[in-house]
Structure 1
Amino acid sequence: MSSFHKVSVTTAEANDSVARVSLDNEAQHNTLDLRTIQELDDAFMAADRDAEIDAIVLGTTGDVFCSGADLGDLTEMAFEEGTRWMSQYFETIDVLRDTGKPTVAAIEGICAAGGNELAMGCDLIVAGESARFGQPEVGVGSTAAGGGVQLLPLLVGEKRAREMLLLGEMYPASQMQEWGLVNRVVDDGSARDEAVSLANDIVSTKSPQAYRAIKTIMKTWTNIGMVNQEMARDMTAAVWDSEEFRDRAEAFVDREDQTPRSFTGSQPVDGE
């Protein structure tokens, strides 16, 4: 396993075969840059291959789960760099979706944008009662196409997904449980313990063969949404490599008001 700097990985005491993979860069709100994504991928792959590990819990070492991609990182990318970033990101989420081992997200605090997409890659989501979820990319000029656009309609329904994606607001854990994104809401600070307990219950009482089969067959539905990853990758990289995205991302980081732009139609204008 590689050396980790922005992710921590612990396995537990006796009689506990759950790998705890935690985002560990709270000073930067656990934003996702390419190094963090690669470290997550290394951690997930190692847990998948380790015969001593039966389940994976994805969480945080602090009070914030993940506020999404590092905008400073994205604004520096040319198109080809953006495609490589997205390719690595999709591969990392796919390890969670593909492994036959149970995967549970433990969410405390903010779970936004890419953080929400990572959580959706897990089999189950446990959240602290003050946790907040959302896909706010539309406000900063990004696409939410790392899984948000694709998976949310399947999990919460199309109209609710449209609200989350097109308005870009944040929603409390209780509402996300009601809508079907979150499985369990627990006291703040106890999400990881509950997620580990849930994972251990699965490991100790359920059939590994049946679990894998059910998960694999259910993945057929999410694959419908994820089928055009290359299109999502290239469209997102093109958006990142644009003046509009850089302007909006920089204004967001600097806490400045956004400059409105005109929305365009899709039909030819008379005379053109």
Structure 2
Amino acid sequence: MTYQSIQVTLAVNGVCTVKLNRPQVRNALGLQMREELKDFFTEVQNNDDVKVIVLTGEGNAFSAGGDLSALKDVEAASGRKRLQTGHEMISSIVDLEKPVIAAVNGAAAGAGFSLALACDIIIANQSAVFIQSFSKVGLIPDLGSIYFLPRLIGRHRALEMMFFGEKISAEQAHELGIVNRVLEDHLFTDEVYKLANQLTEGPQMALGLMKKLVNRSILDDLAQSLELEGFAQAMCFESANFKEGVEAFFEKRKPVFNQS
């Protein structure tokens, strides 16, 4: 399949690299990219040549999150439909019975952070930063962050990150348990693929079943959470605070939210 927003490369050893390929907008997760990722992760289940997937970003960012330029005129119904495509993308990663490594090579913000959380292992370079940036534009965390993050770091720390939307470094993310490993920038690529190659040498059926059973044990209510997220985010899309947040983002100023 030919993709426009992602770049797929398969190595002979079974490691498949998927690059978010919109560096001009810091790999913002537009609707087309979400659809292409969903299609790729759904179809790759039946490709026996692919044993491990490395998901990373082209350029100096993993993903800056949702494409706000496409959300300026969004309404509740269209926004919820857009989110459902994102939910299918997240589910396609979680449901895939193959290891998926998020190689976070820069900023993972908003929905980009959510995308990394859906993967099985997160490796970050020292330049990486993580931010739950949704509150900056009057939205709730989406694409599963509300589900995944508290389970990783606990309710209080997750709410702190979500409420304040402050950046944390790769090292802080590692200390919190979000990131498996932090690697020096000049060693990052080699070490990520060294880890991926180790996984290709493992028992593929057993690895896939491990992932399936672990996910079943702790993620059983993910679908319900995503459905509730869709309704809540649709309400936020209709709010004056969201309009103000988007305008402030493009005008490069601090938003002034009303208190209702």
Q: TM-score range by the shorter chain?
A: over 0.9
Query: Which of 209, 216, 234 is equivalent to 1:213?
Result: 209
Structure 2 unaligned blocks of 5 or more: none
Contact 1:126–1:194 (CA under 8 A) maintained in structure 2: no
CA deviations 1:47-89 (Å, max 9, x no partner) are 2221111111100121111010011212222222111111110
**Alignment-derived partner of residue 160 in structure 2:** 163
**Alignment-derived partner of residue 235 in structure 1:** 232
| Residue aligned with 2:16, SS | strand
CA deviations 1:163-186 (Å, max 9, x no partner) are 111111110001101100000111
Q: Distance in 2 between matches of 1:192 and 1:105?
A: 12
| Residue aligned with 1:75, SS | coil
CA deviations 1:196-245 (Å, max 9, x no partner) are 221220120x2223222221222131334553221111211221132220
TM-score of the pair, normalised by structure 1:
0.90
Structure 1 unaligned blocks of 5 or more: 265-272
Q: What is the aligned-residue RMSD (CA, Å)?
A: 1.5
Aligned residues: 259
Q: Distance in 2 between matches of 1:67 and 1:242?
A: 23
**Alignment-derived partner of residue 179 in structure 2:** 182
Equivalent residues in 2 for 1:112-191, closer than 5 Å: 112-191=109-188
CA deviations 1:87-146 (Å, max 9, x no partner) are 110111111111111100001110111111111111000100110011111111111132
Question: 1:44 and 2:41 equivalent?
Answer: yes
Q: Distance in 1 between matches of 2:145 and 2:40?
A: 23
Question: 1:35 and 2:35 equivalent?
Answer: no
Query: Which of 198, 220, 228 is equivalent to 1:201?
Result: 198
Structure index of larger Rg? 1
Question: 1:111 and 2:100 equivalent?
Answer: no
| Residue aligned with 1:46, SS | helix
Contact 2:111–2:142 (CA under 8 A) maintained in structure 1: no
